[in-house]
Amino acid sequence: MSVSTMLERVGRATLAAAVFAALTSGSVAFADPQPTTTPTPVPDAAHWTAYGFDVIAPASMWPMLVLLHTLHFDWELTSAAQRLTPLVWSDLPTGVFGQYDRSINVVRLSNVLLSSGVEARTAFLAHELTHLNDDVNGRLADGSSAGCYAAEVRAFENEANFWIMLFGPQGKQLPDPIEARENTRMWAFVGNPHFVDLVLQTTPSYIRQCGFEQ
């Protein structure tokens, strides 16, 4: 990327700077470039087996899985069942609400999400299961910067589309802080993949994750 292109991108990003933190914090996509199909052991792991699926997840997550099915996100549930990927609650770093760890085949959601409603928890799960689906279908294999950003764009778009399917273009009314974040993402990201890409490529955490696109 040329210096002039970088400066132009930074100039365009200035307009969006005020909302970057709300839009992008809360997700670490893939912790290792080498996936494994061996499930992470989960103490007392329960299996959700409704609607013909078999997903490893605690009972506290089952309403979230039902909500994904209700909104026709079965393709995500299929990936979790196919790869036998455990879904777990975890103490994640501050500001990180979800993580798909390819190295040990697990999706983690932050315990902080337990303070919000089932809809917000499920939105973050939809984001992380997008990464899992990408991995199952070989879209994370090349390890390139462009591929990394494209994967994040898909995940944020799916998260935002999930939210608008639930609450419509006005978003959740009387939201808590986490739900307000989802409203902001929805307003900014639905139908705007180029803006999602701009946000990601000018946000330090994603630059560290994906690098500069060549």
CB atoms within 10 A of CB 15: 9
Domain that holds residue 204: 3-32+67-73+93-102+112-210
CA–CA dist 43, 181 (Å, integer): 32
Residue 87 belongs to some domain of the structure:
no
Residue 148 belongs to some domain of the structure:
yes
What b-and-e string marks burial along 85-111, b requiring 16 or more CB atoms within 10 Å of the CB?
bbbbbeebeeebbbbbbbeebbbbbbe
Residue 81 belongs to some domain of the structure:
no
Whether the per-residue pLDDT at 191 is higher than 60: the answer is: yes
Residue 48 belongs to some domain of the structure:
no
- Give the pLDDT confidence score for residue 211 in this predicted structure: 86
**Based on the structure, what is the number of domains in the chain?**
1
Residue 42 belongs to some domain of the structure:
no
Percent of the chain with pLDDT over 70: 78
The alpha carbon of 33 is separated from its chain's Cα centroid by a whole number of angstroms, namely 17
Residue 52 belongs to some domain of the structure:
no
CA–CA dist 29, 208 (Å, integer): 12
Residue 55 belongs to some domain of the structure:
no
Whether the per-residue pLDDT at 184 is higher than 80: the answer is: yes
- Give the pLDDT confidence score for residue 32 in this predicted structure: 39
